[in-house]
């Protein structure tokens, strides 16, 4: 027998959860179908909130990222109040050392005031005080708990195999989705939201591809004297210190499909780039390696808003900025789903830009 819902969100990563929480907070009945929470890019990320350090050029994407960064403090406060948990949000700023001269950059002496012991090759760089970080793993737990607190139904282990459209052609305009075919039977809803990250092509021919990132962490044992007080965003790697002494080093960027595992060369590249950037890291205890799959798109913008199916909304392809873009994606997509009014902020992110 088919299960019936009002709004079904396919995908239980940060984007799916954040949209669900926003919709539910505004009174909608929401159900999430999640294939495998642990595989979401949400867990693999470093949690940088870095529109400036990532050097996103002036564009609707930069505007969206800056808007989302500004939403972060209130968004986190709301989630933490709801759950009583800490998401590790830290407006620590990001220092971006450079090995070559760039216009308007700070000199090395100024850089060293922010962060002593930088590698000798760092001749200068940039300081972005408004960029920061959140502990993405802690945030994932907070979002999951918040969803449960609000009474959002979350079903895990569900793989959506296909959209049922009542028509033979897939992705045909003016059609709508009648149901989802899953490994656990048929699910029906009035509205559907696709938030399946790097796996989106399993369901729709939209250009979202996996871009693998390998990561590792080291740990400083003396939590009273943390050596790093802000993120370091270098030319070859970034170093993200948490307040509990953990330090994340990322990330490779590989076009290898969904090839699993950390490789020796990947870990070697990360460690040598991190030690070049910040030599003291060589003495810290190696703790963990992992990897994940960013949902990349050809122009590196996400795909947001309406789809050729009248009752399907898209929220996928956040590439390097899924953690950063979660609050603004949640508010704009929830608003769009609830009001069905086009949002000018979403125009640049419509799937049809790919023709």
78 with 22: CB under 8 angstroms? no
Cis peptide before 94 (omega within 30 of 0): no
Under the binding rule (CB under 6 A), the answer on residue 51 touching ligand GLY is no
- 239/251 with CB nearer ligand GLY: 251
**Pick from 213, 229, 239: which is nearest to 50 by CA?**
239
Which residue reads 């505007």 in tokens?
63
Residue 292 C-beta: closest distance to ligand GLY, Å: 9
- Looking at the DSSP bridge assignments, the partners of residue 188 are 4
Residue 79 C-beta: closest distance to ligand GLY, Å: 21
Angle, to 10 degrees, between the axis of helix 322-339 and the axis of helix 60-83? Answer: 90
- 3/294 with CB nearer ligand GLY: 294
**β-strands 153-156, 30-34 pairing:** parallel
- 294/345 with CB nearer ligand GLY: 294
- 88/213 with CB nearer ligand GLY: 213
61 with 93: CB under 8 angstroms? no
Q: Dihedral of CA 322/319/118/224: which sign? A: positive
Residue 101 C-beta: closest distance to ligand GLY, Å: 25
Residue 157 C-beta: closest distance to ligand GLY, Å: 27
Residue 124 C-beta: closest distance to ligand GLY, Å: 22
Chain mean position to CA 236: 20
C-alpha span between 104 and 354 (Å, rounded): 36
Longest CA–CA separation in the chain, Å: 69
Among 9, 48, 154, 315, binds ligand GLY (CB under 6 A): 48
Under the binding rule (CB under 6 A), the answer on residue 213 touching ligand GLY is yes
Among 251, 325, 330, 337, binds ligand GLY (CB under 6 A): 251
Under the binding rule (CB under 6 A), the answer on residue 250 touching ligand GLY is yes
Count of residues that bind ligand GLY according to CB under 6 A: 7
Length of the chain measured in residues: 355
- 196/237 with CB nearer ligand GLY: 237
C-alpha span between 252 and 246 (Å, rounded): 19
Which string of x and - marks every residue 260-299 that binds ligand GLY (by CB under 6 A)?
Answer: ----------------------------------x-----
- 10/46 with CB nearer ligand GLY: 46
Under the binding rule (CB under 6 A), the answer on residue 98 touching ligand GLY is no
Residue 129 C-beta: closest distance to ligand GLY, Å: 19
Under the binding rule (CB under 6 A), the answer on residue 137 touching ligand GLY is no
Q: Which residue has the closest beta carbon to ligand GLY?
A: 320
C-alpha span between 285 and 315 (Å, rounded): 38
**Pick from 32, 20, 145: which is nearest to 86 by CA?**
145
Under the binding rule (CB under 6 A), the answer on residue 320 touching ligand GLY is yes
Residues forming contacts to ligand GLY in the complex (CB under 6 A) are 46, 48, 213, 250-251, 294, 320
């Amino acid at each position: 027998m088919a299960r019936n819902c009002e709004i079904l969100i396919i995908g239980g990563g940060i984007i799916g959860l954040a949209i669900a929480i926003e919709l539910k907070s505004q009174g909608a009945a929401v159900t999430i179908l999640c294939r495998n929470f642990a595989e979401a890019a949400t867990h693999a990320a470093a949690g940088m909130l870095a529109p400036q350090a990532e050097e996103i050029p002036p564009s609707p994407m930069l505007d969206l990222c800056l808007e989302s960064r500004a939403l972060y403090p209130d968004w986190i406060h709301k989630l933490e109040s709801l759950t009583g948990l800490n998401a590790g949000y830290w407006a620590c700023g990001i220092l971006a050392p450079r090995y070559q001269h760039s216009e308007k950059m700070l000199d090395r002496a100024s850089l060293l005031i922010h962060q002593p012991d930088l590698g000798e090759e760092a001749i200068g760089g940039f300081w972005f005080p408004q960029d920061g970080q959140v502990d993405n793993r802690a945030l994932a737990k907070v979002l999951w708990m918040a969803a449960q607190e609000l009474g959002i139904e979350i079903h895990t282990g569900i793989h959506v195999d296909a959209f049922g459209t009542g028509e033979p052609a897939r992705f045909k305009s003016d059609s709508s989705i009648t149901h989802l075919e899953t490994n656990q039977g048929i699910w029906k809803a009035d509205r559907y939201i696709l938030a399946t990250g790097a796996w989106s092509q399993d369901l729709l021919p939209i250009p979202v591809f996996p871009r693998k990132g390998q990561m590792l962490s080291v740990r400083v044992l003396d939590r009273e004297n943390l050596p790093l007080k802000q993120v370091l965003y270098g030319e070859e790697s970034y170093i993200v210190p948490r307040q509990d002494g953990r330090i994340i080093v990322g990330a490779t960027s590989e076009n290898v499909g969904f090839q699993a595992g950390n490789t020796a060369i990947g870990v070697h590249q990360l460690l040598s780039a991190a030690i070049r950037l910040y030599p003291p890291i060589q003495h810290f205890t190696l703790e963990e390696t992992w990897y994940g799959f960013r949902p990349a798109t050809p122009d590196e913008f996400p795909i947001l808003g309406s789809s050729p199916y009248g009752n399907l909304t898209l929220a996928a392809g956040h590439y390097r900025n899924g953690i950063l873009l979660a609050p603004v994606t949640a508010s704009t997509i929830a608003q769009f789903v609830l009001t069905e009014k086009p949002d000018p902020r979403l125009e640049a992110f419509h799937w049809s830009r790919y023709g």
